[in-house]
Structure 1
Amino acid sequence: MAPKVEDDWSDSDDDQEQLDVETSVLLGLPDGPVDSVDDLRDVAVSRMGGHPAFLTSPEPDVSSSQCKNCSNPMELLVQIWCPFEDSPMDRALYVWACARGECQKKDGSVRAWRSLRYNAEYAKKLEAKLEKRRKQEEARKAAEKAKEASKVNPFKISGSYSATSSFGLGTQVFGGENANPFSGQPSAAETNKDDDDDEDREYESESDSEESLVTALASASLEDSPWPAMPAYKPMYLNTTAEYLPPPPKTKVPPGAKIVDLDRDDGKDKDKNMTWLSEAYENSMEVDHVFERFMTRVGYEGKQCVRYDLGGTPLPFSHDKTFDRLFPLLTGPPVPVTKGDFMVQTSPKCVYSPSAVPNCPRCGGERTFECQLMPNLINILKDGEDDGKEAGKKSTEEERQKEVERALKSQNAKGRRGMEWGTVMVFSCKNDCCPEKKSNWAEELVMVQWDE
């Protein structure tokens, strides 16, 4: 559970050092090469590089990985096991990118796809769980209604008895934790553990789901698949950890003063204890505050390759056209200072607007931010390329200097390779719609901020 920051606003200089605060973001970190053949074939093992493992058979067509500019097959950047909470569908996300120099900074050179598979065993468990939640919610509402009635007439025995007998029900009916999108578990049944009985049923459901999943994977003939012939980086495990950030500095305010966070997005900010991490950005043309903030945030865990925050706010790389689209300028009315005699115009802010993301073209539903790829991923994949070096081995200073010289000499050459994006943001359909019942394979929206 995330540590909390106490709002004591003490005047003492001897305050105990505050603990770091956990955010809603899960960070994907490199965790060594994937050497196990079983893990390479297991769709529930999240990875960087390598060839994709699929949920369904027959497999998707290899055209899914083709660059829309050069029409050549692209390398897989990441594959993430990420079932939605309270969904009966097993789910995986795939992102491909073209490394050819002439395709950089062009639309269609980075593509993301989503794969679904109906999990019948978990669907039964989910139906029972939702029914339990419904009954708990009804009990909670009945208890609240009885409590309100007792306030109106405190001497009414039936109202007092009803409220007492229902005490405590439904206080945490939605207390389950979100699914870990990077976990190497073969079933969506690992999410939302309510109690011991549910854990027992979950174990049974997981076993059944694992068996059915293995059967589905086994039915896909690797010998007949064209995917192993596609270009690929060396596969690396994608491990997960929660993001922790230092708490914001305490502000000393006079007694009775009201603290108003002008950056807060109507109270919807997930990280309520961290006002400095709100979604607003200063609008300044002199300094790229967006890039500075990006570097500061990433600096707390420099190894991160993926940021996963379903329904959260993307971390923009720089102030460019994509930023202006996702973070439109928000201006407010002047703020009165004293009796309306003076007015102070607050600085314009750029605030994340989910409505700026186009709707799903298949079902017409809203899209939501799901994850983004970070610049360190480029370094990890490059270090892992099959060029005679060991996977993950760092280049020496002399080798890096030679690589820079070669890159400068070949800037105008058509054959040069290297990805030049700053971050890749993936937005998925909220409905997790199934375009085709047979394949359950759909392309999702990608927004790229390039490294200028």
Structure 2
Amino acid sequence: MALNDSDSSDDESGSFTTTNVMLGYASKEPTDDTFSQLGGYATWPDDTSAPSAELVKCKICNSMMTLLLQLNGDMPEKFPGHERKVYIFSCKRKACRKKEGTIRAIRGTRLPRTSPGKPKANNESPMQNEPKQAPASANIGNNLFNSTFSSNPNQNPFSTSTNPHSPIANPFAPRPANSIASPFSPPAAKLPQPPNNDFLATTFAQKARISSPPSQEDPKKPWPPQSDLPQPYPSYHLDADYETLDPTPPTSSKTAMDIDTEGVGSRDDEKDAFESTIDKTFQRFADRLAQNPEQVLRYEFGGAPLLYSKSDLVGRLFTHQQSASTSNKITTIAHEMGSNRIPRCPNCSSSRVFELQLVPQAIAELEVEEEGLEGMEWGTIILGVCEKDCGERGAEAGEVGWVEEWVGVQWEEDAKPGKS
């Protein structure tokens, strides 16, 4: 992936280039970041903020997955007041490998509390929405003697109101049964009797419970105890530094294509046949990582991933066919990495952007204690997140809400020769 001038800086001697990509390194020694880690058991922002277990179950076997990465994603300059954490989990079962839904990611965001109430406009009186109180002199009799006389002089004496507290009763209006009837008023109507609660309980209420469909089970499952979780990978702290590259790689760092084609011969057909078996995207991926071989992750919010392959579904999200008449080559989108190409955030419908990716050195660190060769088989795991860092729907301000984010996995087999 070519560097842009705006994304790099040279030191005074010009011996290396620094990019905007932050590299993460596994460390057994504690670092300044006390939250971020590779492997181990997941920890949450506080004791009551664990996500639903359903968000961390394998979509193939429905078993709990194992933590690959948890990262402190706070960005006070971009999201002031947001407490932000991201996690990536993977299923360890062999039968589930290389299948969609076996690697998942979640984001926990605690949005800042806002001041209660709706702010009033500058020209709005703080009391204008409150009910107006009658003058004290008008209600003094009522207050002292609990009188029902009204202070309203405009009361209609011929109103049909049956309010017993009406100040001037209409002699021609029907009256309640327990009042003294006027000789000119019709017989008082019989007041309706209150419903029989027992009858309701055995008819409407009970029948509703019987006939209504069963309520759906709450999708939020409590986080299980550690004893019910799969054995974790070894736990590492994370150290970080900006990526530095040698702008003029030494001769000894020729690409595999350059080295292997030296003995092929001068015939063009033989060279073309050989080059067709080389995945150039993978070669760029390998060459870039080789300059900082200990890196386990690459981080650049809103940047572009380093693709392991351009031929799989994930790779095609970040590549496009250049239609200019001067060139028809497949090119990698750098900083127009296609937020509209990654599926939008299902929680708020905003675009998603690239945030980070895990690279193969993470496998070497996590499986250092594993026996045999049948381990994780991915080339890179790419994480795309909501560009607005939205909070979970229904989550209260000040509480941690959880949203599942997009994960693009490029499996090892997608970079086999001949697939470019």
TM-score scaled by length of structure 1 = 0.53
- Corresponding residue of 2:159: none
Instruction: Tell me how far 1:234 sits from its aligned partner.
Output: 2.1
Q: Work out the CA distance in 2 between the residues paired with 1:356 and 1:61.
A: 28
The CA deviation string for residues 23-59 of structure 1, in whole angstroms up to 9 with x for no partner, is 011111011167xxxx9xx995210111111124242
Q: Which has the higher helix share?
A: 1
Instruction: Tell me how far 1:325 sits from its aligned partner.
Output: 2.7
What pairs up with 1:222-237 in 2 under 5 angstroms? 226-229=224-227, 230-231=229-230, 232-237=232-237
What pairs up with 1:146-185 in 2 under 5 angstroms? none
CA contact (8 A) 2:111 2:391 kept: no
Instruction: Tell me how far 1:384 sits from its aligned partner.
Output: 4.7
What pairs up with 1:46-445 in 2 under 5 angstroms? 46-56=36-46, 57-84=48-75, 85-87=77-79, 88-119=81-112, 226-229=224-227, 230-231=229-230, 232-247=232-247, 285-321=276-312, 322-334=314-326, 346-352=327-333, 353-354=337-338, 355-384=340-369, 403-404=372-373, 407=374, 418-436=375-393, 437-438=395-396, 439-445=400-406
CA contact (8 A) 1:55 1:117 kept: no
Instruction: Tell me how far 1:92 sits from its aligned partner.
Output: 0.7
Highest CA radius of gyration, 1 or 2?
A: 2
Root mean square deviation, CA, Å: 2.9
- Secondary structure at the counterpart of residue 288 of structure 2: helix
Deviation >6 Å, runs of 4+: none
CA contact (8 A) 2:26 2:238 kept: yes
Instruction: Tell me how far 1:285 sits from its aligned partner.
Output: 4.8
* Identity over aligned pairs, percent: 31
Q: Work out the CA distance in 1 between the residues paired with 2:52 and 2:310.
A: 37
Compared with structure 1, are the counterparts of its residues 289 and 18 closer, same or farther at alpha carbon in structure 2 (3 Å cutoff)?
same
- Secondary structure at the counterpart of residue 102 of structure 1: helix
Q: Work out the CA distance in 2 between the residues paired with 1:364 and 1:285.
A: 41
Instruction: Tell me how far 1:119 sits from its aligned partner.
Output: 4.9
13, 16, 21: which one pairs with 1:20? 16
Q: Quick one: which amino acid aligns to residue 366 of structure 2?
A: L
CA contact (8 A) 1:423 1:450 kept: yes
CA contact (8 A) 2:347 2:403 kept: no
Q: Work out the CA distance in 2 between the residues paired with 1:297 and 1:65.
A: 32
Q: Quick one: which amino acid aligns to residue 226 of structure 2?
A: P
- Corresponding residue of 1:171: none
Q: Work out the CA distance in 2 between the residues paired with 1:77 and 1:374.
A: 12
Q: Work out the CA distance in 2 between the residues paired with 1:447 and 1:3.
A: 26
- Corresponding residue of 2:25: 29
- Corresponding residue of 1:13: none
Compared with structure 1, are the counterparts of its residues 3 and 379 closer, same or farther at alpha carbon in structure 2 (3 Å cutoff)?
closer
Compared with structure 1, are the counterparts of its residues 60 and 237 closer, same or farther at alpha carbon in structure 2 (3 Å cutoff)?
same
Instruction: Tell me how far 1:5 sits from its aligned partner.
Output: 4.2
Instruction: Tell me how far 1:247 sits from its aligned partner.
Output: 2.1
Compared with structure 1, are the counterparts of its residues 373 and 4 closer, same or farther at alpha carbon in structure 2 (3 Å cutoff)?
closer
Q: Quick one: which amino acid aligns to residue 316 of structure 2?
A: D
- Secondary structure at the counterpart of residue 14 of structure 2: coil
Equivalences, count: 263
Unmatched 5+ stretches in structure 1: 7-15, 125-223, 250-283, 335-345, 386-399, 408-417
- Secondary structure at the counterpart of residue 70 of structure 2: strand
Instruction: Tell me how far 1:227 sits from its aligned partner.
Output: 4.2
- Secondary structure at the counterpart of residue 29 of structure 1: strand
Q: Work out the CA distance in 2 between the residues paired with 1:435 and 1:247.
A: 44
Compared with structure 1, are the counterparts of its residues 305 and 95 closer, same or farther at alpha carbon in structure 2 (3 Å cutoff)?
same
- Secondary structure at the counterpart of residue 356 of structure 1: coil
Q: Work out the CA distance in 1 between the residues paired with 2:223 and 2:302.
A: 35
Instruction: Tell me how far 1:20 sits from its aligned partner.
Output: 0.8
CA contact (8 A) 2:310 2:319 kept: no
Q: Work out the CA distance in 2 between the residues paired with 1:368 and 1:225.
A: 28
Compared with structure 1, are the counterparts of its residues 365 and 17 closer, same or farther at alpha carbon in structure 2 (3 Å cutoff)?
same
Instruction: Tell me how far 1:375 sits from its aligned partner.
Output: 0.8
CA contact (8 A) 1:76 1:233 kept: yes
Q: Work out the CA distance in 2 between the residues paired with 1:19 and 1:99.
A: 43
- Secondary structure at the counterpart of residue 233 of structure 1: coil
The CA deviation string for residues 151-208 of structure 1, in whole angstroms up to 9 with x for no partner, is xxxxxxxxxxxxxxxxxxxxxxxxxxxxxxxxxxxxxxxxxxxxxxxxxxxxxxxxxx
Q: Work out the CA distance in 2 between the residues paired with 1:239 and 1:370.
A: 17
Q: Work out the CA distance in 2 between the residues paired with 1:374 and 1:33.
A: 21
CA contact (8 A) 1:331 1:349 kept: no
CA contact (8 A) 1:372 1:423 kept: yes
